[in-house]
Amino acid sequence: MRGSTAGLADTLTSGSRAHTALLEFADVLFASVVVAPAVVTYWKSTWSLMDLYVLTEDPVSSAAVCAGFGLCLDLLFCVFQTQLGKYLRPDRSRLTYYVLSRIYTCVAGIACVGGWRGVWNLLNECTGDSARTLLSTTVAATLSLAALRTLRNICAAPFAVAVDSPQDYFDIPTMFRTSSRETALYILDCVFSVTVVGSLVVFVWRGSWALLDIFLYPDDQVKSFWTSLVVGYAIVVVTFATQVPMRWAVGKLQGAPRLLVADLYHLVSFLATVNVWRAVWGLMDVYFFPDTPKLSNWCSHIISLSLLILLNCSNSILVRGVYIDAEEPAGDCVVFPCHYLRLFFHKERIKKRQKGSLTAAPTSATKKIEEASVPLQTPEEKV
């Protein structure tokens, strides 16, 4: 659900300003109205299915099993990402690549949800749900992520859309960017990225979500969810609307002030994200076959996952990789990775250019051959 935008903003900017602005608006709308609800629906349904099927009689064991299963699979996918990218490529067999890569997404998605559910529920069992405890753990986790320069990893859809591109389909950036050739250090890097940074992100999400449950119309869930939806999307609009001035401002700053402003901007986007997720999650429980939870969750699970696969952005359901705060140059660090239509049209332009160059090459060669075949003029003909 996360991503880096290094160089993307400038690379995808072409054509008139109006055309670029229109595509950018379409991407924001697509991320907010299509991808975000689909991703939340997938997570909600998968989480609820685990509630229904995984050791329902023992909440602690259920959470522990999910945490162990999810974190171990996440770690395996992280460690063996190079091998997966090397052997699963469309140039070897397009059909094999497509099928196996989507199976990878399905399995990795279950692992991500399982890992989060396990850590989340273990926290509930171990620390309780009092407002003071929630606030302290959330603040501590937020400050820890900020100190590690990994606060941006709390962001998710609608502020991130992962396009299923073969070039980086299996890539999972680690905290210290260790090379896979340094086996021991690389494995430690993967362990730290998956368990420490990943768990801190869960702490922040869990605390923020639970605090909203406590303080936002706790006696009227439906009103609470609708309020979250309105507030969340209102902040989404404001956040995207202020992206250009924020990019300009951050580009002018250096060092700690730049990092601080970028982190505050990501915190605002997270406030929008957690409200949108909570709203869609809760409203699904209220309105989508509430009396038949198994039917509701299986249907929403299959529909949401199928939709994202067909839209070629199924990797948006995955929480993987560690991205460093303000690692991109200038103001690119506050540009959200929501490039879907812009990437599509950019690729189409590249294809047309390549096709045009291939067409022009034979024409040029033919012209040279024809010129070479013309007989030389004799001196008499010149006169």
User: Does position 203 have pLDDT exceeding 80, yes or no?
Assistant: yes
Q: What pLDDT is stored for residue 373 in this prediction?
A: 52
Which pLDDT band holds residue 5 (cuts at 50, 70, 90)?
A: low
66 has pLDDT over 70: yes
User: With bands split at pLDDT 50, 70 and 90, how would you rate the model's confidence at 380?
Assistant: very low
- Residue 320 has a pLDDT of 92
Q: What torsion do the CA atoms of 303, 305, 308, 314 make, to the nearest 10 degrees?
A: 180
Q: For the chain, what is the mean pLDDT?
A: 91
pLDDT at 382 over 70: no
Binned at pLDDT 50, 70 and 90, residue 176 comes out as very high
Torsion angle of alpha carbons 189, 192, 195, 198, nearest 10°?
Answer: -90
The confidence score (pLDDT) of residue 242 equals 96
What token pair was written down for 45?
């349904």
Q: How far is residue 41's CA from residue 289's CA, in Å, rounded to a whole number?
A: 14
353: pLDDT strictly greater than 80: no
* pLDDT of amino acid 312: 96
pLDDT attached to residue 377: 44
* CA pair distance 371, 383, nearest whole angstrom: 22
**Torsional sign, CA 286, 225, 116, 238:** positive
Q: What is the mean pLDDT of residues 271-299?
A: 97
- Other Cβ atoms closer than 10 A to 305: 22
User: Which residue, among 75, 113, 69, has the nearest Cα to 192 in the 3D structure?
Assistant: 75
Give pLDDT tens digits for 102-148.
999 999 999 999 999 999 999 999 998 899 999 999 999 999 999 99
239-257, pLDDT tens digit by residue?
Answer: 999 999 999 999 999 999 9
pLDDT tens-digit series, residues 210-243: 999 999 999 999 999 999 999 999 999 999 999 9
| pLDDT higher than threshold 80 for residue 363 | no
pLDDT band at 349 (very low <50, low <70, confident <90, very high): confident
Size (the chain), residues: 383
- 35 Cα distance to chain centroid: 10
The residue with greater pLDDT, 316 or 353, is 316
pLDDT, greater one: 358 or 52: 52
Q: What is the pLDDT of residue 112?
A: 98
Does the pLDDT at position 379 exceed 50?
no
User: Given this model, what pLDDT does residue 354 score?
Assistant: 77
Where do the structural domains in the chain lie, given as residue ranges?
A: 8-342
Dump the DSSP string for 304-329.
HHHHHHHTT-GGGG-------TT-SS
pLDDT tens digits for range 8-55: 555 555 567 888 889 999 999 999 999 999 999 999 999 999 999 999
Q: For 312-319, what is the mean pLDDT?
A: 96
